[in-house]
Structure 1
Amino acid sequence: MERIAFIDLGSNSVRFVIYEISDTGSYRLIYQEKDSIRLSENMWGRHALTEEAMARALRSLQSFVHMAEAMDVDSIKAVATAAVRLANNGNDFIERVKAETGLILECISGEEEARLGFLGVINTIGLNDFVIFDLGGASTEVTLVKNRNIKYSTSLPIGALTLTGTYQKGDELTDKEYQKMVKVIKATISEHSWLKNAKIPLLGIGGTARNIAKMDQRKLSYPITKLHNYEVPYHRFIELLDEVKSKPLAQRKKISGLSSERADIIIAGMTIVQELFNYVNSKTIVVGGSGLREGLFYDYYGTQYLGGNPIIPDILIHSAENVLLGMTKHELVHAKYIAKLADTLFIQWKPLHKADINLRRCLQVAALLHDIGKRVNYYSHARHGCYMLVNSNLYGISHVEQAFCAFLVMNSHGLTPKEYKNFLYGKLLDDEQRLMGQKLAIILAIAEALDESHEQLISEVRTKINTDDVYLTIMYPKERDISVTEAAVNKLVKAFKKEFKRHLHIEWFPR
C-alpha cells in the first residue's frame, strides 16, 4: 500500500489531496483540503507576488506538509500554475517554499496545466467531444477534445480574480467597467478560431463552475448534492448570471449555493463562461468535480499501474471495479459472476424488455455493486447499497443513470411500497424509467438467485421465448447439489410474470 499527496497551488486557491493505493491496485481519496489564499491578489501592477500573498501561501503549504507527515504519506507532488508562472518573482517564491517547507514546487506551463486538467476530466466524465475550460484566478485553460483526445489547447490570460482586480475600481462593477471587461474577454477568446461554433458541450472545472452548479441545484431543490457531471443548460445559466449581476456584494453573498468567499469575483468568472458559451455555440455546461489535482493522480497512476497510459478506456467499468477491489476475493468473484449472468439474461431477454445499451451498462454496474451495502449492515444492505451506489465515484454515467442503478439494487432485493415512496433519488426518474427499472431488477434478482450459494455452479443459461411463455434452461455440474439455488430462483417466478406478462418455465439440466 502507498499513500501519495498532490498539491495544486492556484492563483486563487491551493488544494491538497491524499490518495491511498492498495496492494490490489484499488485507490481512494482519503483526505482533501482547500484554502483560499488569493496568491495573485494585487500582483498586476508590478507583475510580482506580494509579500502578504506569499505569506498566506507559505502558511497553507506548511500545514499541508505537516498533514502529509501525520498521515504517513510516502511522497508529495506539488505544482504551481498561472500566478507563479506569470510573476516576475515566481522563481524566488519557489526557492522560498523549498527553504521554509521542504516542498519541491514545480511551476508548470499552461499547456501542461491543460493536459493535467484533461486527464482529470477524461477519466471521470463519459463524453467524447467537448470543450474543457479550467477557470482560475489568473488564467483560463481551454481545451478542445475530440474522440477523447486533445485536439487543441491554450491558456487564456484572463481569470476571475485578475479581471475583477483590473476592471473593478470601486466596491461594484459599473456598467462601463463591465462592458470594458466583456470587450477584453471577447477579444481574448476570439484569437482561437478552433473554438468558434464548435457546437459541443462546455465542461467546466474550477471554483466558478462548481458554484454555478451549486446555485442551480439549490434553485431546483435537486435531490443529489453531487456536483460532478451535473448539467446546466444555457437558459438556466443566463438566469443565474442575471441574478448575480443584479445584486450588490452583500446580497450576492446570501445567494444560496454561492460561496461567500467567491461572491466578489463571480461576475467576472461567469462572464468568461458566458462568452465561451456564445463563441463555442454550446447549449449546455457540464460541471466537472475532477480537475488538475485528479489529473496529477491519474498521470501517476497510469504510469505506475496501467502500463504508462493515463487515459482509462472504459471509465464506468473501471470505476465500478475500483470500488469492488476493496472487497474480499470471495465477494469480488461473486460480484463479477452475477454481472456476467445478468448480462447474459439481458441479451437473451432483449425482446421482453427492449432496453438500450446504456441501460445494459447500468445493469452491469448494479450487478457488480449489488452487495456493497453489506459493508454497513447485512440486514438492510439494499437500502445502504442504494445510498452508497448513488454516492460512489462512478464515472461515465449521468446522475439519472446512477440513480437508476441504485433503483435496480433496491428493486432486486424486494423493494417495499414504503421504501419506494421514500426513495429520494427516485425523483430523478420518470414513470417510464421506473417501469423499465422494475423489469431489469427482475433480471438482476434472478442472476443473484442463480448464485445464491456463492459457488458459481451455473455454467450456461439458454432462453426460448413465445407469446405467453419463457423457457429458461439452466446447466450445472451433475454431481453438485443445486437445491439452494433452485429454491431461490423459483421464488422469483411470480415476480417475473408480473413484470413481463409471461409464464417462466425453468428446466435444470445437469451435465
Structure 2
Amino acid sequence: MRLAAIDIGTNSIHMIVVQVKPDLSFEVVDREKEMVRLGAGGLEGGRLADGTQSAALDALQRFRQLAESRQVDEIVAAATSAVREAQNGGEFLAQVVQRTGIRVRVISGVEEARLVHLAAVYAVEAATGTTVVIDIGGGSMEMTLGTAEEVHIARSFPLGVIRLTERFGSGDPLPRSAERRLVKHIRQEAGAFLQQVRSSGFDRVITTSGTSLSLGQVALSGRRLFDSDRIHHSRLPAAALHRVRKQVVGLDMQRRLRLPGLDSRRADLVVSGAVLLDTVVGLLGAEEIILCDLALREGLVLDYIRRNGAQIARADRYPDIRRRSVVELGERCRWYPDHSRQVARLALSLFDQTRGLHGLGPREREWVEFAGLLHDVGGHISYIAHDEHSYYLIRNGGLRGFEPEEVEAIALMARYHRRGRPKKSHPAFAALRRPARQAVRAGAAMLRMAESLDRSHGQLLERIELQEDRDRFRLLLHARAPAELEAWAARRQSEAMEKLLGKPLTIESADAPYAQHPDHPAPLPGSPVRRRGRGRVREEHATRPAGQVARGRRPPADRD
C-alpha cells in the first residue's frame, strides 16, 4: 500500500509518500516541504493572513498532484497549532477541501505529542528504557515521556519558535534583557513539567523538528567526516548545544546567515529556538540529545498502520484501488462474501456467453462483477427492500477510482437484481446516457439470474452453460450437488434474461432435466427439436455449443 502523510504546521508544510511493506514497516519514496509560515501573526486567537493562506493552498495543491503521480492509495493530513488557534482556521480548512479535496484533521497538542513520540522511538529503535521526546514547532513545543510501547505523559506548551520570536525576538542581535525574559517565560510555562520528568528518570532524550536539526548542523559542522545529509541519529552533547546558543544569540541576522550548516530560511527563528532547546535540556539535566529527522508526518503514517492493518493487507491483496474499494464497502456492510463472489462469477459467465447479444465491453463487464459483489449490501440495513438499500449504500459508499456514472450504473444494477426493472420513468436510470442504460438493462438481467442460481447460498453450481436452439435457449447447470432450489428460483426469475436473449429460456441440469419454462418444456437430449420457418416445419438435432450464442443481435430497444 502507498500512503501520503501531510503535516500542516505553523512554520512549514511537509509531506512524505511511503510504501508500506507486508511486515507493516514503511519506506519513504518521496518527500516535499514548503516553508509558508502559515501561523505568522495568527497565533493566540489571531487570523491566518490571506497571503500565507494562499501560499499554503498552492503548496497543498502541488502536494496533491505529487501524491497522485505517485499513485497513493490514501492521503492523511493533520493541522497543528496555527490552524487550531486561528479565528479563521475552519474557513481555511474548507478552502483546502474545495481546492484540493484533502480533508485535514485538526489535532490537539497532546495528540500531536503522541504521534511525534511514535515516530521518534520508531526512528531510533528505542526498544528498551524510557525516552523523552521534544518536538519544537512554530506555534508549540510538544514533550512526551514513555517507552516504545506507550506514552506515559504527553504535554503541549505554547512555546513554538514563531510565537516566541514574535513576542521576544524583536532585537537583532537579541538583547540580553530579552533573552532573560525569554528564559523566565520558558521556566514559567514548562518548568514544573520538566522537573516532574527529571524526577521520574529517563534513559535518553530525542529531539525532532527543523529547529533541532538546524542547531545540530551548526554544532556538528566543524567535525571531521561530518555529513550534513546524515545528521539523523547523531548525538549532540548538551555542552555543544549551549555553545551554539551563545553563538547565535550574539550574532545579528547577516552574520547568522554565514554560519556553516544553518538553513537560511530559519535564520530569524534560530535564536529563540536555541534559547528554548538549551533551556529545556538544561532543566531536564540531560547530558546529550539524539537528533531525529522523523516527526509528525511519520507519526501519522505509523498511527495509520496501527489502526488499519487489515486494510493494508487488503491493499496488498487487491492492488487495484477500484476493486479494493468495492471489497472494503462489502466488508463495512457485513456482506456474505462467498455468496457475493458466486453471484458475481455466475453473472460474468452469463456476460461472456452472451457477448454477441449485448455488445458490451470490458468496462461494463467490470460493472457487472462489482454489482454482483455488492448486490446484497443493503441487507446491512434491513432484508426488507434490501435491493433499494443496496442502491443507496453503493451510491453513497465512497467508492474510489470510479466516475460518477459508473457508480450510478453499478448501484442501479444492484437495485434491479431482485424486483422491478429499469424504466426511463425512474429518474436515476433516465439520467444515464443511452450506452449506460443499455448496460444496466443487460447487467441487471444477468445479475437477477445469477442471484437465483445461488438461491440456497450454498455455491452449488460449478459452472453454467448457455446453449442456443432455433426457438429457445437452454441453460445447463453443472452442479456439485442437487440444485433443485436454484433451478426453481432461476425459472421464476427468467423473464428479464429472456428479454435480453430474445427467446424463451429453459433451465436444465447438465445430467437430467430440472424444472423447465412452463410454456416451453425442454426436449430430451438427442431428440429432434421442431423448428418452424418459411412456412414449413423442420426437425433438427443440431444445438449450438456453449459460448457460441448467435452474434449480431442486440438487446431490445431502449423504449421504456
TM-score, L = length of structure 2: 0.52
Partner of 1:460: none
Partner of 1:222: 225
Q: Partner letter of residue 108 of structure 2? A: S
Deviation (angstroms), 1:223: 4.1
Matched, 1:213 2:190: no
Partner of 1:92: 91
Cα deviation per residue 1:275-326 (whole Å; 9 max; x = unaligned)? 2112211111111111111111111223334899xxxxxxxxxxxxxxxxxx
- Distance in 2, Cα, partners of 1:22 & 1:155: 32
Matched, 1:158 2:162: no
Cα deviation per residue 1:101-122 (whole Å; 9 max; x = unaligned)? 2111111111110111011012
- Distance in 2, Cα, partners of 1:103 & 1:110: 21
Partner of 2:19: 20
- Distance in 1, Cα, partners of 2:40 & 2:252: 21
Cα deviation per residue 1:127-180 (whole Å; 9 max; x = unaligned)? 321211110000000111257531111000111111001112344422222221
Give SS of 1:88's match.
Answer: coil
- Distance in 1, Cα, partners of 2:22 & 2:183: 52
Pair 1:240–1:24, CA change in 2 (3 A): closer
Corresponding pairs, count: 307
Contact 1:198 1:280 in 2 (8 A): no
Partner of 1:252: 256
Matched, 1:135 2:139: no
Matches within 5 A, 1:255-404: 255-305=259-309
Partner of 2:32: 33
- Distance in 2, Cα, partners of 1:306 & 1:100: 31
Give SS of 1:257's match.
Answer: coil
Partner of 2:121: 122
Q: Partner letter of residue 203 of structure 1? A: I
- Distance in 1, Cα, partners of 2:182 & 2:25: 46
Name which of structure 1's ranges 79-88 and 145-154 shifts more when overlaid on structure 2. Answer: 145-154
Contact 1:138 1:160 in 2 (8 A): yes
Pair 1:306–1:276, CA change in 2 (3 A): farther
Name which of structure 1's ranges 42-51 and 203-212 shifts more when overlaid on structure 2. Answer: 42-51
- Distance in 2, Cα, partners of 1:223 & 1:245: 24
Gaps of 5+ in 1: 309-511
Matched, 1:149 2:150: yes
Q: Partner letter of residue 291 of structure 1? A: A
Give SS of 1:37's match.
Answer: coil
- Distance in 2, Cα, partners of 1:172 & 1:180: 15
Cα deviation per residue 1:379-412 (whole Å; 9 max; x = unaligned)? xxxxxxxxxxxxxxxxxxxxxxxxxxxxxxxxxx
Partner of 1:168: 169
Contact 1:13 1:35 in 2 (8 A): yes
Deviation (angstroms), 1:202: 2.2
Cα deviation per residue 1:61-91 (whole Å; 9 max; x = unaligned)? 1110111122212211011011111112111
- Distance in 2, Cα, partners of 1:271 & 1:259: 17
Pair 1:50–1:150, CA change in 2 (3 A): same
Contact 1:190 1:196 in 2 (8 A): no
Give SS of 1:232's match.
Answer: strand
Contact 2:140 2:157 in 1 (8 A): yes
Q: Partner letter of residue 156 of structure 2? A: S
Partner of 2:51: 52
Give SS of 2:249's match.
Answer: helix
Name which of structure 1's ranges 87-96 and 259-268 shifts more when overlaid on structure 2. Answer: 87-96
Contact 2:44 2:86 in 1 (8 A): no
Partner of 2:247: 243
Q: Partner letter of residue 214 of structure 1? A: Q
Partner of 2:62: 63
- Distance in 2, Cα, partners of 1:305 & 1:280: 37
Deviation (angstroms), 1:183: 1.1
Please, what is the CA RMSD of the aligned residues? 2.1
Q: Partner letter of residue 190 of structure 1? A: G
Flag the structure with larger Rg.
2
Give SS of 2:10's match.
Answer: coil
Partner of 2:507: none
- Distance in 2, Cα, partners of 1:154 & 1:46: 20
Give SS of 1:63's match.
Answer: helix
Partner of 2:3: 4
Contact 2:45 2:85 in 1 (8 A): no
- Distance in 2, Cα, partners of 1:177 & 1:223: 34
Partner of 2:101: 102
Partner of 1:194: 196
- Distance in 2, Cα, partners of 1:159 & 1:57: 19
Gaps of 5+ in 2: 313-560
Q: Partner letter of residue 131 of structure 1? A: V
Deviation (angstroms), 1:96: 1.4
Partner of 1:487: none
- Distance in 2, Cα, partners of 1:110 & 1:149: 17
Give SS of 1:119's match.
Answer: helix
- Distance in 2, Cα, partners of 1:228 & 1:148: 22
Contact 1:129 1:148 in 2 (8 A): no
Share of identical aligned residues, percent? 28
Pair 1:175–1:42, CA change in 2 (3 A): same
Name which of structure 1's ranges 219-228 and 285-294 shifts more when overlaid on structure 2. Answer: 219-228
Cα deviation per residue 1:196-234 (whole Å; 9 max; x = unaligned)? 455543210001111122223311123444122111111
Give SS of 1:282's match.
Answer: coil
- Distance in 2, Cα, partners of 1:255 & 1:183: 27
Give SS of 1:211's match.
Answer: helix
Deviation (angstroms), 1:190: 1.5
- Distance in 2, Cα, partners of 1:197 & 1:222: 37
Pair 1:218–1:297, CA change in 2 (3 A): same
Deviation (angstroms), 1:21: 2.9
Q: Partner letter of residue 7 of structure 1? A: I
Q: Partner letter of residue 93 of structure 1? A: F
Matched, 1:231 2:235: yes
TM-score, L = length of structure 1: 0.57
- Distance in 1, Cα, partners of 2:168 & 2:21: 49
- Distance in 2, Cα, partners of 1:25 & 1:286: 25
Pair 1:306–1:186, CA change in 2 (3 A): farther
Deviation (angstroms), 1:48: 1.6
Q: Partner letter of residue 152 of structure 1? A: I
